[in-house]
Structure 1
Amino acid sequence: MLSIGSIVLGVSDVPRATAFWTRALGYVPRDEPEEHWVVLAPADGEGPCLSLGRSDVPPSPRPRVHLDLYAADAADQAAEVERLLGLGARRVDWDSYPDDPDFIVLADPDDNLFCVIDTSRG
């Protein structure tokens, strides 16, 4: 049976992306980071890794694959969004929000889009 070992993001600046995602997720480098590649792993060893690889391709404004980060409820979601903004994320003016969305679209410092989801809404 297969399992997801790592999700890979293309980034223009691996050290900057490493600084953002380690603080955002509480992950740590699995091995010594290289100039153009790093694998970040959960500090407790549980869950998939996030790999950051140097890419010259600009991020898509409508990516087919993105990260969903789960928050426990609306208050947790709001707090996490503010924390992530403080780490260098930015809000995205998403034109496809449904009425009363349970997610907020953000972009990391490399403009990779991701969502923060209020999971209490089912």
Structure 2
Amino acid sequence: MALKWYTIVVDCRDPQAQASWWAEALDWEIVYDTPDEAVAVPRHALEGEERAPDLDTWIRRGQGLVFVPVPEGKQVKNRLHIDLAPHVSQDRDAEIQRLLDLGATRIDVGQDEAEVTWTVLADPEGNEFCVLSSRDQ
């Protein structure tokens, strides 16, 4: 038996702004939005039946991001972060620029830019994430 990795929950000052930013960055959709929680999921998770007819279909639907309010701002480097990867058919530098244009910032967490194959960015509330080299798997 296995459990499904269902969501990642992100503490933030402004759940609606964070959900909107990540939905735009990932081309996802916001499916739930209240003052206490905003949820973004991949668009393909909304295709087909509302309920998955079987375990395999349910497992393949993928994860979502849940944003919940907290009173404090981010204090230290994340202990967990998201890695994003463009497909080999995409222009990685253009994708990084698109994220920067949306409001991401480049940050230094000690990486040696000359030796690594990823770029470290932060979302508008300072949560670190990486853009990896292009992948086909």
Q: TM-score, normalized by length of structure 2?
A: 0.77
Q: In the TM superposition, what are the counterparts of 1:1-122 in structure 2 within 5 Å?
A: 1-31=2-32, 33-45=33-45, 46-73=61-88, 76-97=91-112, 99-120=114-135
Unaligned runs of 5+ in 2: 46-60
Q: Give 3-state SS (helix, strand or coil) of 2:132's partner.
A: strand
Whole-Å Cα distance in 2 between the matches of residues 118 and 28 of structure 1?
Answer: 25
Q: Report deviation, 1:99.
A: 4.5
Question: What do you get for the CA RMSD once the two structures are aligned?
Answer: 2.3
Unaligned runs of 5+ in 1: none
Q: Which amino acid aligns with 1:61?
A: V
Task: Please say if residues 14 and 52 of structure 1, whose CA atoms lie closer than 8 Å, have aligned partners that are also in contact.
Answer: yes
Q: Identity, % of aligned pairs?
A: 29
Q: Give 3-state SS (helix, strand or coil) of 1:50's partner.
A: strand
Task: Please say if residues 20 and 30 of structure 2, whose CA atoms lie closer than 8 Å, have aligned partners that are also in contact.
Answer: no
Larger Rg: 2
Task: Please say if residues 102 and 119 of structure 1, whose CA atoms lie closer than 8 Å, have aligned partners that are also in contact.
Answer: no
Q: Please list every run of at least 4 consecutive aligned residues from structure 1 whose deviation after the TM superposition is greater than 4 angstroms.
A: none
Q: TM-score, normalized by length of structure 1?
A: 0.86
Length, aligned pairs only: 121
Alignment deviations for residues 35-57 of structure 1 (CA, whole Å, 9 cap, x no partner) = 13111111111321011111223
Return closer, same or farther for 1:82/1:53 CA change in 2, 3 Å cut-off: same
